[in-house]
Amino acid sequence: MLGGLAGVGLTAMASSRTSRAVAATEWEQVVAAAKKEGKVAVNTFTGQGYARIFKLFSQAYPEIKLDHTNLESDAFAPRLVQERKAGIYTWDVTTIPTSTALQVMKQSGVWDPIHPVITQPEARSDASWRGGFDAGFLDRDKLSYAFTLVRSLGVFVNADQVKVDELRSVKDLLAPKWKGKIVISDPRIIGSTFWPLTVARLALGDGIMKQLLIDQEPVLSRDRNQLSEFMVRGRYPIGIGLNVLAIQDFQAHGVGRNIKTHLLPEFDYQSAGSVVWLLNRAPHPNAAKVFINWLLTKPAQVAWARELHTNSRFVGVEPGNPDAVVPPGVKLTQIDSEETLPEVIKTQELARQLIR
């Protein structure tokens, strides 16, 4: 009997080794095909840190050229859809928030599910990720993978012009002294604004939208980078929905170091921050697969967290932004999950009604 059990065990071990060998061979074939394609086209947000991260990919796979563009969501989404109508297929992979990706781009049929493409053991292991591997899928169809987890930054303030104890609630932004002195990225299309406004609306009621967006006479723009520069240059003391990477780039050059983030309780939520998507009809499908699996390794996640000042879900990676860590056991609204999308859409619709 014992001999029989031992035989079963040996058979299972042999089968496991065979499976690993087959998987390794299949991966080698993917890498070989990717090298033959010779290129992967990736789009991200703006920010100088991406280039430093992607140098690591080029070092790991020098035969695969990484063609990197940095179009913001409001420029990338319409361009992608328009190109595809014309039969043009430029990109393989993108990092883009779920709100734009699910609202605008899913209905245009541009995505392939990313779940089957993530094949490497390190990337698929529950032990690798906070909350386990499956916690990275925020949409029902597993089209994308969220590999970071961050707490809301709140509002941006010029510490030379604003005392943070003056701002303890979103309601404090409605004080007469701040009228005409707040810059806000367009909440009709910019997720970094309509996300916090959604949480505030659920906490304070729909009326907060008019009070903040109309009555306070803020400066509204679709250009997050321009508004970020306005704050860095000291033109406005408070900002909502700005491009933190652009501000960090300024600060790295010694400019705008008085710009701080300040979390207000009604703006408190968690989001993925960085979500990777696979374009269907990708011109370089094997290179896309290699890139995605590389991105979900610990070395890539260490670089991503460090260079973009964000927090990876990969276990053992130091936070790039300790102020935005979601504490263990704290339950916050996952603002970019498909489940909360209807409330986000309502916020956008209210903003469209208010802003003419």
How does residue 74 score in pLDDT terms, banded at 50, 70 and 90?
Answer: confident
pLDDT digits (tens, 9 = 90+) for 225-283: 899 999 999 999 999 999 888 898 899 899 889 999 999 999 999 999 899 999 999 99
- Mapped onto helix, strand or coil, the DSSP state of residue 42 is strand
Within a domain: 52? yes
pTM above 0.95, yes or no: no
Within a domain: 119? yes
What average pLDDT does range 62-77 have in this prediction? 94
216 and 130: one domain? Answer: no
58 and 188: one domain? Answer: no
Within a domain: 207? yes
136 and 163: one domain? Answer: no
- Look at the chain and report how many structural domains it folds into: 2
> What is the pLDDT, as a whole number, of residue 62?
98
How does residue 9 score in pLDDT terms, banded at 50, 70 and 90?
Answer: low
112 and 174: one domain? Answer: no
Within a domain: 43? yes
115 and 257: one domain? Answer: no
> What is the pLDDT, as a whole number, of residue 170?
97
**pLDDT exceeds 60 at position 15:** no
pLDDT digits (tens, 9 = 90+) for 280-320: 999 999 999 999 999 999 999 999 999 999 999 999 999 99
What whole-number distance in Å separates Cα of residue 208 and Cα of residue 173? 10
What average pLDDT does range 108-137 have in this prediction? 97
Q: What is each CA distance from 80 to 74, 85, 286, in whole angstroms?
A: 11, 9, 20
> What is the pLDDT, as a whole number, of residue 25?
85
Domain boundaries, position 97: 37-149+272-325
134 and 158: one domain? Answer: no
The token pair that represents 42 in the structure block: 């990736």
238 and 349: one domain? Answer: yes
Q: With the C-alpha atoms ordered 190, 154, 96, 245, is the resulting torsion angle positive or negative?
A: positive
pLDDT digits (tens, 9 = 90+) for 329-356: 888 999 999 999 999 999 999 999 999 8
Nearest partner of 100 among 353, 272, 329, 262, judged by Cα: 272
105 and 165: one domain? Answer: no
What average pLDDT does range 45-67 have in this prediction? 95
114 and 188: one domain? Answer: no
349 and 233: one domain? Answer: yes
The token pair that represents 199 in the structure block: 């949480």
| In contact, 118 and 295? CB cutoff 8 Å | no
Within a domain: 20? no
Which CATH number do you get for residue 57? 3.40.190.10
197 and 318: one domain? Answer: no
What whole-number distance in Å separates Cα of residue 326 and Cα of residue 335? 13
Q: Give 321's DSSP letter.
A: -
**pLDDT exceeds 80 at position 65:** yes
199 and 121: one domain? Answer: no
What average pLDDT does range 79-104 have in this prediction? 92
What is the overall mean pLDDT for the chain? 92
Within a domain: 293? yes
Within a domain: 286? yes
> What is the pLDDT, as a whole number, of residue 14?
60
Within a domain: 177? yes
